[in-house]
Structure 1
Amino acid sequence: EALDYKTPLLRALNAVDEAATDICKYFDKNVKKVTATLGWEQEYFLVDASLANSRPDLVMTGRTLLGHTSAKGQQLDDHYFGSIPSRALNYMRELEEECMLLGIPVKTRHNEVAPNQFELAPIFEETNLAVDHNSLLMDVMSKVGERHDFKVLFHEKPFQGVNGSGKHNNWSMATDTGINLLSPGKTPMSNLQFLSFFINTIKAVNDYEELLRASIATASNDHRLGANEAPPAIISVFIGAQLTKVLAELEGVSNGKLSPEEKTDLKLNVVGKIPDVMLDNTDRNRTSPFAFTGNKFEFRAVGSSANCANAMTTLNSIVAKQLKDFKKEVDSLIEKKDLKKDEAIFNVLREYIKGTKNILFEGDGYSEAWEKEAKKRGLSNHKTTPTALKAKVSKKALDLFKELNVMNHIEVEARYEIELEEYTKKIQIEGRVLGDIARNHVIPTAIRYQNTLIENVRGLKDIFGKDFEKIAKEQISIIKEISEHIEGINSKVEHMTDARKKANALTDAQKMAEMYCDKVKPYFDEIRIHCDKLELIVDDEIWTLTKYRELLFTR
Structure 2
Amino acid sequence: MSNVPAIFGSLVFNKTVMKERLPKDIYKSLMKTREEGKPLDLEVANVVANAMKEWAIEKGATHFTHWFQPMTGITAEKHDSFISPTDNGKVIMEFSGKELIKGEPDASSFPSGGLRATFEARGYTAWDPTSDAFVKDGTLCIPTAFCSYGGEALDKKTPLLRSMEAINKQALRVLRLFGNTTARRVITTVGPEQEYFLIDKAQYEKRKDLIYTGRTLFGAKPPKGQELEDHYFGVIKPRVAAYMKDLNEELWKLGIFAKTEHNEVAPAQHELAPIFTSANIATDHNQLTMEIMKKVAAKHGLACLLHEKPFAGVNGSGKHNNWSISTDTGINLLEPGDSPRENAQFLLFLAAVIKAVDEHQDLIRASVATAGNDHRLGANEAPPAIVSIFVGDELEKILESIENGSDYHHKGKTFMKIGVDVLPAIPRDTTDRNRTSPFAFTGNKFEFRMLGSSLSIACPNQILNIIVAESLCEFADELEKADDFTDALNKLIRRTIKEHKRIIFNGNNYSEEWVAEAERRGLLNLKSTPEALSYYISEKNVALFEKFGVLSRAEMHARYEIQLENYCKQLHIEALTMIDMIKKDIIPAVCSYMKDISKEALNKKQLNAEICCELEETLLKKLSALSAELYRKMEALEKVVNEQPSFEDILEKAMYYRNSVFASMEDTRATADEIESLVGEKYWPYPTYGKLLFSVV
- Match of 2:273, SS state, is strand
Residue in 2 that maps onto 1:257: none
Question: 1:272 aligned to 410, 415, 423, which one?
Answer: 423
Residue in 2 that maps onto 1:395: 539
Residue in 1 that maps onto 2:440: 291
1:509 deviation in Å?
1.4
**Which structure shows the bigger proportion of residues in strand conformation?**
2
1:200 pairs with 2:326: no
Residue in 2 that maps onto 1:124: 276
Contact 1:170 1:298 in 2 (8 A): yes
Tell me whether 385-394 or 528-537 shows the greater mean CA deviation.
528-537
- Match of 2:172, SS state, is helix
Contact 2:466 2:545 in 1 (8 A): yes
| Greater relative CO, 1 or 2 (CA 8 Å, sep 6+) | 1
| Distance in 2 of aligned mates of 1:270 and 1:248 | 18
Residue in 2 that maps onto 1:550: 691
1:53 deviation in Å?
0.8
Residue in 1 that maps onto 2:470: 321
1:217 pairs with 2:366: no
Q: How does 1:21-60 map to 2 (within 5 A)?
A: 21-27=172-178, 28-60=180-212
Q: How does 1:485-524 map to 2 (within 5 A)?
A: 485-503=626-644, 505-506=646-647, 508-524=649-665
- Match of 2:543, SS state, is helix
- Match of 1:151, SS state, is strand
| Distance in 2 of aligned mates of 1:46 and 1:193 | 44
1:345 pairs with 2:489: yes
| Distance in 1 of aligned mates of 2:415 and 2:440 | 30
- Match of 1:9, SS state, is helix
Contact 2:306 2:317 in 1 (8 A): yes
Length-normalised TM-score, structure 2? 0.75
Contact 2:309 2:375 in 1 (8 A): yes
1:55/1:504 CA distance change after superposition, 3 Å? farther
Q: What stretches of structure 1 of length at least 5 have no aligned partner?
A: 255-262
Contact 1:503 1:516 in 2 (8 A): no
Cα shift readout 1:234-268 (whole Å, capped 9, x = no counterpart)? 001110110000001111239xxxxxxxx993259
- Equivalent AA in structure 2 for residue 292 of structure 1: F
1:507/1:429 CA distance change after superposition, 3 Å? farther
1:321 deviation in Å?
0.6
- Match of 2:345, SS state, is helix
Structure 1 vs Structure 2 CA RMSD: 1.6
Residue in 1 that maps onto 2:678: 537
The alignment of Structure 1 onto Structure 2 pairs a total of residues equal to 537
| Distance in 1 of aligned mates of 2:421 and 2:273 | 35
- Equivalent AA in structure 2 for residue 424 of structure 1: C
- Percent identity, please: 45
| Distance in 2 of aligned mates of 1:23 and 1:69 | 55
Tell me whether 9-18 or 449-458 shows the greater mean CA deviation.
449-458
1:477 deviation in Å?
1.3
Tell me whether 345-354 or 502-511 shows the greater mean CA deviation.
502-511
1:238 pairs with 2:390: yes
1:188/1:219 CA distance change after superposition, 3 Å? same
Residue in 2 that maps onto 1:229: 381
Contact 2:419 2:487 in 1 (8 A): no
| Distance in 2 of aligned mates of 1:512 and 1:503 | 9
Contact 1:39 1:122 in 2 (8 A): yes
1:523 deviation in Å?
1.4
1:268/1:199 CA distance change after superposition, 3 Å? closer
1:323/1:212 CA distance change after superposition, 3 Å? same
Q: How does 1:441-460 map to 2 (within 5 A)?
A: 441-460=585-604
Contact 2:434 2:506 in 1 (8 A): yes
1:270 deviation in Å?
9.1
Contact 1:181 1:194 in 2 (8 A): yes
Question: 1:17 aligned to 153, 162, 168, which one?
Answer: 168
Contact 1:167 1:302 in 2 (8 A): yes
Residue in 2 that maps onto 1:481: 622
Contact 1:253 1:346 in 2 (8 A): no
Q: How does 1:285-434 map to 2 (within 5 A)?
A: 285-332=434-481, 334=482, 338=483, 340-434=484-578
| Distance in 2 of aligned mates of 1:242 and 1:56 | 51
- Equivalent AA in structure 2 for residue 15 of structure 1: A
| Distance in 1 of aligned mates of 2:298 and 2:153 | 34
Contact 2:572 2:641 in 1 (8 A): yes
- Match of 2:620, SS state, is helix
| Distance in 2 of aligned mates of 1:411 and 1:292 | 32
Cα shift readout 1:417-463 (whole Å, capped 9, x = no counterpart)? 00011000000000000111112111111111111121122223223
- Equivalent AA in structure 2 for residue 461 of structure 1: K
1:480/1:264 CA distance change after superposition, 3 Å? closer
- Match of 1:32, SS state, is coil
- Match of 1:189, SS state, is helix
- Equivalent AA in structure 2 for residue 274 of structure 1: A
1:539 deviation in Å?
1.3
1:84 pairs with 2:236: yes
1:102 deviation in Å?
0.7
| Distance in 2 of aligned mates of 1:62 and 1:230 | 19
Contact 1:44 1:117 in 2 (8 A): yes
- Match of 2:182, SS state, is coil
1:75 deviation in Å?
1.2
1:186 deviation in Å?
2.2
- Equivalent AA in structure 1 for residue 341 of structure 2: M
Length-normalised TM-score, structure 1? 0.94
Question: 1:172 aligned to 302, 324, 336, which one?
Answer: 324
Contact 2:248 2:258 in 1 (8 A): yes
| Distance in 2 of aligned mates of 1:177 and 1:459 | 84
Cα shift readout 1:165-200 (whole Å, capped 9, x = no counterpart)? 001000001012211000012211101011110111
1:93/1:271 CA distance change after superposition, 3 Å? farther
Contact 1:291 1:298 in 2 (8 A): yes
- Match of 2:436, SS state, is coil
1:370 deviation in Å?
1.0
1:368 deviation in Å?
1.1
Contact 2:174 2:472 in 1 (8 A): yes
Contact 1:188 1:268 in 2 (8 A): no
- Equivalent AA in structure 2 for residue 181 of structure 1: L
- Match of 2:677, SS state, is helix
1:430/1:83 CA distance change after superposition, 3 Å? same
Residue in 1 that maps onto 2:225: 73
- Equivalent AA in structure 2 for residue 313 of structure 1: Q
1:137 deviation in Å?
1.1
Cα shift readout 1:53-93 (whole Å, capped 9, x = no counterpart)? 11110111000000111111111121113111111111111
Contact 1:172 1:297 in 2 (8 A): yes
Residue in 2 that maps onto 1:258: none
Residue in 2 that maps onto 1:112: 264
Cα shift readout 1:25-79 (whole Å, capped 9, x = no counterpart)? 1222222211110011010001110101111101110000001111111111211
- Equivalent AA in structure 1 for residue 452 of structure 2: G
- Equivalent AA in structure 2 for residue 62 of structure 1: G
| Distance in 2 of aligned mates of 1:423 and 1:495 | 21
**Which structure shows the bigger proportion of residues in helix conformation?**
1
1:269/1:83 CA distance change after superposition, 3 Å? farther
1:503 deviation in Å?
2.9
